Structure formats: C-alpha cells, structure tokens
Structure 1
Amino acid sequence: MPEIFKDSRGYWAVAIELPAGPDGGRRRKYIRRRSKTDLVEERDRVLAALDRKGDLRTSSPSVEAWADYWMTEIVAKTRRPKTVASYRSVIENHIVPVIGGTRLDKLNAAAVRKVLARMESAGLSSTYRRNAHGVMAAMFADAEREEKIDRNPVDLVLRPRKAVADLEVLSVEEAQRLLEAFSASPDAYMWATFILTGARRGEVIGLEWDRIGEDIDLSWQLQRLEYAHGCRGRCGLPRPSECPKRRFIVPEGFEHRHLQGGLHLTRPKSRAGWRIIPLVDPLRSILNTAREAATENPWGLAFVSARAGVPAPIDPDEATTRWNATRDAAGIERPVRLHDLRHTTVDLLDAAGVDMDTIMDIVGHSTRAMSREYRSKANRERMRQALLAMSGSLGYDAY
C-alpha cells in the first residue's frame, strides 16, 4: 500500500506507482487532500481503478478544451441544430467562465454547484439552471465514457427544482379581441394562423402555399442553422459565418432545405410533429384572402418579411418581436409570448368540448411511442369537427 505523507504545503499526499512509460521512465499519480480521511478514500478509489484498468492518466484537458472538442466532435454531429445552439450558449456564457480553466480530472461536485450558484445569483430561472445541469451531465458523461474522468461529478449534484410557472394564456374574450384587432396588422393572416391551429412558431413562418389546401401540412418548420468553420479555423476570422469555406452544422441524416442565409426548412424533431390538420373556416377564408394578397417569393412561403420591398423568409426572432408589438398594440398588457398561443389554442379546444386525444393530434403534443406517419380519414374528420367547434366558440361561422 502506498505510503501517506504530508507535503511541503501541509496537505496529506500519496504517490501511486503506475506502469512505466514508453521510454521506460517512472510514472506516478499524486493525490493531495486537506483531510487524511478524504485522501484515504480517494487513494482506495484510484487503486481500485488502477487494478480494473491496468493504467491511469497523469494529464487531463481543461473543461474548456473538452467542451470545445465535445461540441465539435460529438454534439454537432448527433444533436439537432437548435440543441447545438442551446448547448453552446450555456457553455460559453455560464460553464466556461466559471470552471473553464479547471482540469477535467480535478472536477468535483463543488465545481458543478458553483456554476449553478452563479446562475442563480444572476437571477436566471430554474428552467435555465436545470438545462445547464443537463448540459454538464451530458458533457461529463461523455468524458467518463471516453475515460477522461473516472466518474461524472454531476451525478453527485441534485438537479435544480423546477419552479411552478404561471402560463400567460389568452382568454376566449382576449383571443376574440386579438382576431378583430389583427385587421390593423400587416401580419393579420399569420397571427390568425397561430391562434386557429396551435402550430409552433417555425411551423407557421415556414408554411408554404403548396402545403395549404383542404388540409394544412405541418411537416416542415423554419429554423436558423449555425455555421462552422470549413477551414478548421485557419482563415483567422473570429466568426464562422465569415469563413470563406463556412458550412452549416447539421447532424448526419438531418433533413433540411436551404432558403436564404442561415434560414432553412427542417423536419420537426419527432414524428408526432409531422402532422396534417384539416383547414376549416374561418382560417380557410383567411388564408384564401392571404393567398390573393401574398407577396410573390422564390420559396413559395405563405408569410414573408418585406424590407425595402424585397421579400425574405421571416427570421424566428423577428417573428417574436413582431408578435410582441402586435400584442401591445391590441391592449394585451400581460406578457403573453408567441409560444403561449399554443396553450391558448389548447384551452379553446378544451372549452369547445374537444377530447384530449384530438387536441394532442391537432397541436402535435402527443408523447405516445407509436408511429404518427399515417393519419386515417376517420381521425382527420375527428380533427375537422374539433376545429369547427373551436371556431364556433370564438363566434365565427364564416370569415
């Protein structure tokens, strides 16, 4: 058993002999702890790992270096673009600034808690802190899998408890008022589509005219994809989007159609999102009117942005900004988000007496693990009657 001693700084220490290196030189792994009890515990754990693996590392990359490798070689190749962007934001803004310089093999539960504590003190929501916990758990799980660390320190830290959030959902009266006020908005047709379908932001701004007929085909959504350097950073430009050999970050097998700049049409993340819903009045009449007044564009999009008279796909963030302006102009003082309109649609359908299975089919909220690729005519008729019932609750017989 290796001898325990006190080093020059007063720490309890032990040197564990490792197999000789390629040059035959002596290799040892040093462990230091303030507490002798902690040292003995760590020594026994390391000796067990040495006995199991036959050798141990004596060097380790920093958290920042591992995060960079992990994002480039693992996440970007396996996760959806929106997930990649979300992970990168958490890593660059919250993980690296706090523990980026820490060696992977020196990570412990205290380091993980430090990241979460800094986020809490900055006033960030429990949901965002839970996301950060999940990112660190995944990042260090892959480090453990590739034997960069012996155990994942995030396993020792409880995930932040999710706070109960009050959703800002429109009442039936507010929804009616908005639909009436929309006539003064250049985006009137688009906002009506959000409320009367419960579709997601990307699904509505990515709607193409050839997917609107007797039904609305919601099998594509508009998203912004991130660029990566195509030159492996040799161009010296700080932003990947400026690289002459730039490429989009997309995982293998990811379906996407390029529109303009970083904007693409992509498939929903699950088959449950690939849905076709009936087109009934008043939305049928609304979209027929919209088609007649539509701005021609090379992508066949139903809704576009027209700056300086030049049509362009609507950026997701731009859609949110425009919704906030329209909501405020309509006198809705509560901070109802664009995504909250989905919850409004669910409430309206429920108030109209629609069963939950049909509601889940319409808005794509189902979590069942069965294929949703085929929709029967009977199921389509069930959704049609549900949408008609909801329109009736809003006081519409025709538009």
Structure 2
Amino acid sequence: ILRTASQYSPDLASRFWFKLLTGQRQGEILGASLADLTLRTSENEISLYTVAWKLEELSWKHGCAEPCGNRFGRSCPHRELSIPDAFEYRNLEGRYYLTRPKSQTGRTVPLIAPLDAHLRAHLKRSEGMVNPHGLIWHNDDGSPIDAKQDAAEWRQLLLDAGIITEEENKPGGTKLTGHVARHTVVTLLSALGVDAQLIGEIVGHSSVDVTALYRHANMAEKARAMNLLGEALQLEV
C-alpha cells in the first residue's frame, strides 16, 4: 500500500503515508494543522506532529421557541449547534468544524524520515496554494477534505494496490476502511515489542485495554509463541 501511495501526487501520498505510519484517526488527519507540524532542521532532530484538533461535522438542533415547521434542526431558521457546555470548537466553513481530539490535551507523534520526506514534497508542491484554514491537507480551493472523499480515495488506493476488487470499491463495499490502518499500526508496533502504554500514547488510546482491542497477532507470531512454550517445556520430537 505504501509503495502504491508513493506513486500518487504528493498530497495523496503524504496523507496516506501519514495514515499508515502514525495510526491517527481520520478526523485528526483531515483536521491536521500546519501550526502543529514541526519538521526537523538537522539530522539530529526528529520531526513531530502534535494532535490538537480533528475535523468533524457538528449537528444542529432547533432553536425556535415555537415549532417552525421544519423536521430537521439543520433547517430551522433559529438553529443552534448541538454541543455540550465548554465544548471547544472552531468553525472553518459551512458544516466543517475543528474540535479537540478524544485525548483533549493533544499528543505529540514522532514522524520517521521517509514520512518526513513525503510531507516536505507535499508542502513544497502546495506552497502558495489557497489555504485559509492552515490545514496540512486540503482541496485545491482551500476547503477541508470531506470524510467521504477521503474514504473513497482510500478505497481507490486499496484497489490500485491489489488489496480489494473493483466490486468492493464502493461505500460499504469493504471492511478495510481507513480506520483499519490504526489497527495495523498497533499490531505492527506490538509485534516489534513496543510497550502497550507507549503505543496507546502514540495513537491516542485512553487505556492499554483499548490498545489491546486493536492488536491482532498474525500466524507467524502465534507460531513463535507456541514454539517458546515448547522450548520452555523442553519438549522433543
């Protein structure tokens, strides 16, 4: 998938490399801000991204004292955002808002060198483009990338990489959504022996119990585990 994504335009390549190499949620990627990205200036430094916002569509509720005749709150002439008290948000445009991530305080994720290179290529290509919201990834007119658009581009990537079929390349056509990339990152880091708490801090899990739900051992790992059992018991054929 990474090799296939590398053949795409820098904006798509960097977005999907970021998805597969950081394990962040879709909204956190689509709402990623340039202000929260720090690219290294020397070989001794590490590029970092601080997850401070996520992109989402907030729902509306009726704000009329008397029934206005509209079925849905979004159609009410006195509509109000349906949000809890002290909820922090920023309106970008229309239905798009930046809200705080689940972790609230944000978290800082190290970016490996190959991902850093893709990001630099994307930022160089997009330099000077309309970007009123300061997003890392956006449409050519500066508007945020819609979640459905991102999901469609992800499915196309899987199709181009030979992971899914043409018949599966449709909404709801495959279980391999972009969210599966989070499971992939957790599983790979776990297989490499990274501590569960550290993994949770990287991908933004509230506890190691949640991280455990994202961890899926492959058959090779299971075989190694059973071989360790055999060795511990000093079993011979």
TM-score normalised per structure 1: 0.44
2:147 is aligned, of 313, 316, 319, to 316
Are the counterparts in 1 of residues 52 and 106 from structure 2 also a CA contact under 8 Å? Answer: yes
Are the counterparts in 1 of residues 62 and 73 from structure 2 also a CA contact under 8 Å? Answer: yes
2:136 is aligned, of 297, 302, 308, to 302
- CA deviation profile, 1:7-54 (whole Å, cap 9, x unmatched): xxxxxxxxxxxxxxxxxxxxxxxxxxxxxxxxxxxxxxxxxxxxxxxx
Where 1:231 maps in the other structure, the secondary structure is: coil
Match of 1:62 in 2: none
- CA deviation profile, 1:93-142 (whole Å, cap 9, x unmatched): xxxxxxxxxxxxxxxxxxxxxxxxxxxxxxxxxxxxxxxxxxxxxxxxxx
Check if 1:283 corresponds to 2:115: yes
Match of 1:270 in 2: 103
Shift of 1:233: 5.6
User: How does 1:30-109 map onto structure 2 within 5 Å?
Assistant: none
Q: Relative to structure 1, is the Cα distance of residues 236 and 189 closer, same or farther in structure 2, using a 3 angstrom cutoff?
A: same
Aligned pair count reads 187
Higher relative contact order (CA 8 A, sep 6+): 2
Are the counterparts in 2 of residues 208 and 301 from structure 1 also a CA contact under 8 Å? Answer: yes
Are the counterparts in 1 of residues 27 and 147 from structure 2 also a CA contact under 8 Å? Answer: yes
Where 1:341 maps in the other structure, the secondary structure is: helix
Where 2:113 maps in the other structure, the secondary structure is: coil
Match of 1:73 in 2: none
2:53 is aligned, of 220, 227, 231, to 220
Structure 2 segments unaligned to the other structure (5+ residues): 39-46, 165-173, 209-237
User: How does 1:1-399 map onto structure 2 within 5 Å?
Assistant: 178-186=1-9, 187-213=12-38, 214-232=47-65, 234-271=67-104, 274-294=106-126, 295-306=129-140, 310-333=141-164, 335-367=175-207
- CA deviation profile, 1:52-72 (whole Å, cap 9, x unmatched): xxxxxxxxxxxxxxxxxxxxx
TM-score normalised per structure 2: 0.72
Task: Identify the structure with the greater helix proportion.
Answer: 1
- CA deviation profile, 1:171-222 (whole Å, cap 9, x unmatched): xxxxxxx111113434221111001101011111100111100310112111
Where 2:207 maps in the other structure, the secondary structure is: coil
Structure 1 segments unaligned to the other structure (5+ residues): 1-177, 369-399
- Structure showing greater Rg: 1
Partner Cα distance (2:79, 2:37) in 1: 34
Partner Cα distance (2:58, 2:24) in 1: 20
Partner Cα distance (2:100, 2:57) in 1: 13
Shift of 1:351: 3.1
Are the counterparts in 1 of residues 89 and 100 from structure 2 also a CA contact under 8 Å? Answer: yes
Partner Cα distance (1:182, 1:192) in 2: 7
Shift of 1:318: 2.6
Are the counterparts in 2 of residues 226 and 249 from structure 1 also a CA contact under 8 Å? Answer: yes
Q: Relative to structure 1, is the Cα distance of residues 281 and 220 closer, same or farther in structure 2, using a 3 angstrom cutoff?
A: same
Partner Cα distance (2:19, 2:66) in 1: 41
Are the counterparts in 2 of residues 206 and 301 from structure 1 also a CA contact under 8 Å? Answer: yes
Q: Relative to structure 1, is the Cα distance of residues 332 and 291 closer, same or farther in structure 2, using a 3 angstrom cutoff?
A: same
Q: Relative to structure 1, is the Cα distance of residues 282 and 250 closer, same or farther in structure 2, using a 3 angstrom cutoff?
A: same
In the alignment, residue 93 of structure 2 is paired with which amino acid? Q
Are the counterparts in 2 of residues 195 and 345 from structure 1 also a CA contact under 8 Å? Answer: yes
Shift of 1:242: 2.7
Partner Cα distance (1:311, 1:251) in 2: 29
Where 1:217 maps in the other structure, the secondary structure is: strand
Runs of 4+ in 1 over 4 A off after TM superposition: none
Partner Cα distance (1:337, 1:233) in 2: 43
